[in-house]
Amino acid sequence: MSKRVVITGGTRGIGNGLAREFLKRECQVTITGRSESSVAAAVTELGGYYGEGRVAGSVCHVTDSSQLQGVWDVASEKFGGVDVWINNAGMSIERKPLWKQSDEAIEAVVGTNITGALLASKVAITNMLDQGHGQLWNTEGFGSDGATQAGMAAYGSTKRAVRYMQKALRKDTADTPVQICTLSPGIVVTDLLVGDYDLTSEQWEKAKKIFNILGDDVHTVTPWLADQVLAADTSGARIAWLTRRKASRRFMTAAFNKRDLFAEVDGA
């Protein structure tokens, strides 16, 4: 089913993978990025594959409400509106104790993952109410379910907040035509994941073993996610790639399914 989709943080990683899959399914897609060059390059590449008339881009820092409104305006001008808005833009932070992280890094991850998600949700919902319909998706990550891990205080806190935000937004929009939905892509090999680690450290070697069991490539995960998003038609829908059952099955069969998702990273 063709829909008009906005994806924040759509120039690379999961966001870019989702953009490709929605375009393959005849959707019209607007992506955002933080620089003109990254947005222009992504739009040119996607347009070359899937048609220039079905993809648009907008430079946007998600902590800026006026730029977020600009994204909606670009999508509305080119495609006539927005059916699905996905808050995918996110930041991570180097894995180390909180007191060893810089104030600037903490402010950046909180600003993007919490403030950005709140402001983008506000802009999307406001415009969807005026439009008369729409689906808003926010993206979960490590910590959303209450899991904790050393070195993850800042990032995990932001993702735990996303789950609360989703519950609250569903109550706020209960009597409206806006649907609030949640995307949980699991462990996906992207710059965001790898960038947390010192790739020469023992910590990375240990983490890599787990990621090779539970993780997946962008192009494995995003086709399924796109199909599920397009099929969803109720507020409160939650799409999760890495379920507990799937994780348990992978651990049980890990000895027979040797994978190396990081061959290119380690060989760089």
List residues with catalytic annotation: 155
Nearest to 110 by CA among 149, 162, 70: 162
**SS3 of 90, please?**
coil
d(CA 236, CA 135): 10
Give the single-character DSSP code of 53.
G
Residue 233 to residue 228: CA distance in whole angstroms? 10
CB 135 within 8 Å of CB 83: yes
Please give the angle made by the CA atoms of 152, 158 and 117, to the nearest 5 degrees: 150
CA 84 from centre of chain: 13
Q: 4 has which bridge partners?
A: 28
